[in-house]
Amino acid sequence: RRLKMDEETTTRTCRLLDLPWEDVLIPHVLAYLPLQQLVSLQRVSKQFHDLIQVYLANCRTFDLPSIGPSVPKEAFCSMLKDNKVLQSLSLQKCTDWVTDEELLPVIGQNSHLQRVDMGGCAWLTRHSLVAVSLSCLHLQHLGLAHCEWVDSLSLRSLADHCAGLQSIDLTACRHLKDDAICYLAKKCLNLRSLSLAVNANITDESVEEVAKNCKGLEQLDLTGCRVRNYSIRTLAEYCPKLQSLKVNHCHNVTESSLEPLRKRNVAIDVEPPLQRALVLLQDVLGSAPFVNLQI
């Protein structure tokens, strides 16, 4: 009877935090919780705070969009202060507060980063991109969409140190011109995905250089760039693995250069002329019966 009472007492006093942290709680419990819940869990007690800090110090993926832009700067610094094993870092929705001051220490101590998304972070400067290029030599994916602080010198630094880069989003990086993109293409030969969208400074010169150097290219976004048929034909010639091409608002690109790519089943965001005409005709006719113009 006494033995039974002892067993019951042991059962009653067993608590969650008594389980092994690194062998049980972190891989089998915390790994399945959203980051927002982990942040809240830190406030429960000092023990829970210490547990979450151990988890964050060994976390390989840090995705801030899941907890939104309301995370204070102090919390960001606290959560990542001990982490030196990050492989993926996303700051996509933290545009309201992330600056070089918070980001540089994180980049400096995480040399294993392979994916970084700084898209839309308007308060950063070129120093953050230079820090990424110097620290993250194994970088494969980089998001810089709508980062107008990206300039030619910082992009050249990236190209010099991150030759294994596979994808980069430079959408609306309006300070970049052909010389910077050409330099990137000559250094980063493994590029598979590239966005140069919403930049009127980009011309055929960039597309030609990308096509001739990055022959494994699969996705290219040229939306709104000042490109013409000539460079699109070069793209078709040198990039046999191309799967997707965006040329909307490229008014000098016509069907004569796009047709060979369509025949290869490349996804193009601009409809063929006949298809566009049929859509417009249906809009005009409204509910009238469909007219088949194909002969």
152, 130: one domain: yes
C-alpha span between 202 and 204 (Å, rounded): 7
pLDDT given at position 257: 96
pLDDT band of 131, cuts 50, 70, 90:
very high
273, 142: one domain: yes
With respect to residue 9, please indicate whether it lies within any of the assigned structural domains: no
116, 258: one domain: yes
With respect to residue 50, please indicate whether it lies within any of the assigned structural domains: yes
C-alpha span between 24 and 19 (Å, rounded): 7
27, 162: one domain: no
Res. 26: pLDDT tops 80 = yes
Q: pLDDT digits over 86-101, tens only?
A: 999 998 767 788 999 9
DSSP type of residue 84:
-
147, 262: one domain: yes
Helix, strand, or coil here: 234?
helix
Res. 221: pLDDT tops 90 = yes
Cβ-Cβ contacts under 8 Å for 231 (sequence gap 6 or more): 203, 204, 205, 207, 208, 211
Task: Specify the CATH number for the domain of residue 180.
Answer: 3.80.10.10
pLDDT given at position 73: 77
105, 251: one domain: yes
Cβ-based neighbour number of residue 103 at 10 Å: 26
Res. 1: pLDDT tops 70 = no
Among 49-58, 59-68, 177-186, the range with the most confident prediction by mean pLDDT is: 177-186
pLDDT band of 70, cuts 50, 70, 90:
low
pLDDT given at position 64: 59
Res. 11: pLDDT tops 60 = no
Q: Are 170 and 146 in contact (CB under 8 A)?
A: no
163, 194: one domain: yes
With respect to residue 289, please indicate whether it lies within any of the assigned structural domains: no
93, 234: one domain: yes
30, 77: one domain: no
With respect to residue 207, please indicate whether it lies within any of the assigned structural domains: yes
107, 160: one domain: yes
Could you tell me the two tokens for 279? 């859509």
pLDDT band of 146, cuts 50, 70, 90:
very high
pLDDT given at position 34: 77
pLDDT band of 281, cuts 50, 70, 90:
low
Q: Which stretch of DSSP H or E encloses residue 186? A: helix 178-187
Query: For 232-239, which contacts have Cβ atoms below 8 Å and span 24 or more sequence positions?
Result: 232/207, 232/257, 232/258, 232/261, 233/257, 233/260, 234/207, 234/208, 235/207, 235/210, 235/211, 235/261, 236/260, 236/261, 236/264, 237/211, 238/211, 238/212, 239/211, 239/214, 239/215
With respect to residue 244, please indicate whether it lies within any of the assigned structural domains: yes
| Averaged pLDDT for residues 255-262 | 95
pLDDT given at position 40: 82
With respect to residue 7, please indicate whether it lies within any of the assigned structural domains: no
51, 144: one domain: no
53, 76: one domain: no
Res. 188: pLDDT tops 60 = yes
Q: Number of folded domains in the chain?
A: 2
Residue 118 domain boundaries: 66-282
What does pTM read for this prediction?
0.84
With respect to residue 272, please indicate whether it lies within any of the assigned structural domains: yes
Query: For 283-290, which contacts have Cβ atoms below 8 Å and span 24 or more sequence positions?
Result: none
Lowest mean per-residue pLDDT among 12-16, 122-126, 174-178, 282-286: 282-286
With respect to residue 169, please indicate whether it lies within any of the assigned structural domains: yes
